[in-house]
């Protein structure tokens, strides 16, 4: 049998950023609990945040994040693509003192429009305009309001192979995956959807099968991800940050 792989990856910086409450009555609300690194926990024990995904209708909704003390952290407007929330509209987050921290605008999962970042005092820290995730114009400011050299707000982790980008990560995972004999014998094929985090120190952590196909197929994908080399960490506003990846791996027998 000829083995065919179709693998792609999407990487998006996870933020607790995001917008205003919907006026419509919610169709459903899903509640999840996150730790301080924004990793989903099985229960509220040890959680730093509570995240509520409100699906207003089949196409749109809101994702709201709260501290465990009930304070609002962020809210973003989303659209649902294959049942998964994707940023679409305004996204905002706040400091503990209630001051607006970040305002962003999205279109179908991409930054599109204005982004503003503030200091806890309310002083503007940076302002930029985006087109499909790319900055067209931007400026940065010190805490006293003086202009400072502009630098990009976010940088994805860099993998130590190929061009270091998502394609290099995909290639590394693809090379490490083999089709198990028991899965071939059983005629098992399909998509294994796996998530993982690249931590602030560049390590791969929290590998999790979101949608499995067959135990040995699932394990092949997990093991390949666990064998990835350390990354150069991603950054947000010049500081290291954990970055979540979602990897769908397609197994097909021909």
What's the CA gap between 62 and 75, in Å, rounded?
7
Most confident of 11-15, 126-130, 244-248: 126-130
Q: Are residues 26 and 114 in the same domain?
A: yes
Q: Sign (positive/negative) of CA torsion 213, 215, 221, 222?
A: positive
Closest CA to 234 of 126, 154, 134: 154
Q: Are residues 221 and 241 in the same domain?
A: yes
- Name the average pLDDT for the chain: 86
Which one of 152, 183, 214 terminates a domain? Answer: 152
pTM > 0.75: yes or no: no
Which one of 126, 152, 178 terminates a domain? Answer: 152
Query: What's the domain range around 120?
Result: 14-152
Which one of 121, 152, 183 terminates a domain? Answer: 152
Supply the pLDDT for residue 166: 86
The model's pLDDT over 129-185, given as tens digits with 9 standing for 90+, comes to 999 888 778 999 999 999 999 988 988 999 999 999 888 998 899 899 999 999 999
Closest CA to 88 of 31, 19, 166, 40: 19
**Token match 């040890």: residue?**
46
Report if residue 6 sits inside a domain. Answer: no
Report if residue 183 sits inside a domain. Answer: yes
217 band by pLDDT with thresholds 50, 70 and 90: very high
The CATH number of the domain holding residue 244 is 3.30.2420.10
**Token match 């205003």: residue?**
20
Half-sphere CA count of 110, side-chain side, radius 13 A: 9
Q: Are residues 176 and 235 in the same domain?
A: yes
Q: Are residues 228 and 188 in the same domain?
A: yes
The model's pLDDT over 31-48, given as tens digits with 9 standing for 90+, comes to 999 888 777 888 999 999
């Amino acid at each position: 049998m000829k083995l065919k792989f179709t693998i792609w990856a999407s990487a998006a910086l996870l933020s607790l950023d995001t917008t205003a409450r919907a006026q419509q009555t919610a169709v459903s609300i899903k509640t999840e609990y996150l730790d301080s690194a924004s990793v989903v926990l099985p229960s509220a024990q040890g959680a730093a945040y509570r995240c509520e995904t409100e699906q207003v209708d089949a196409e749109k909704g809101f994702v709201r994040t709260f501290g465990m003390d009930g304070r609002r952290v962020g809210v973003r407007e989303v659209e649902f693509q294959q049942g998964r929330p994707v940023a679409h509209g305004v996204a905002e987050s706040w400091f503990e003192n209630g001051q607006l921290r970040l305002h962003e605008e999205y279109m179908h999962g991409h930054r599109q429009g204005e982004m503003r970042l503030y200091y806890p005092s309310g002083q503007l820290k940076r302002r930029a305009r985006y087109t499909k995730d790319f900055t067209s114009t931007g400026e940065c400011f010190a805490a006293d309001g003086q202009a400072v050299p502009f630098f990009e707000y976010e940088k994805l982790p860099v993998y130590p192979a190929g061009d270091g980008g998502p394609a290099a990560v995909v290639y590394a995972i693809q090379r490490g995956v083999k089709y198990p004999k028991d899965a071939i014998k059983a005629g098992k094929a399909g998509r294994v959807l796996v998530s993982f985090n690249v931590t602030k120190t560049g390590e791969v952590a929290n590998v999790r099968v979101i949608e499995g196909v067959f135990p040995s197929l699932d394990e092949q994908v997990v093991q390949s991800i666990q064998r990835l080399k350390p990354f150069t960490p991603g950054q947000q506003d010049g500081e290291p940050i954990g970055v979540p990846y979602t990897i769908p791996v397609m197994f097909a027998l021909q």
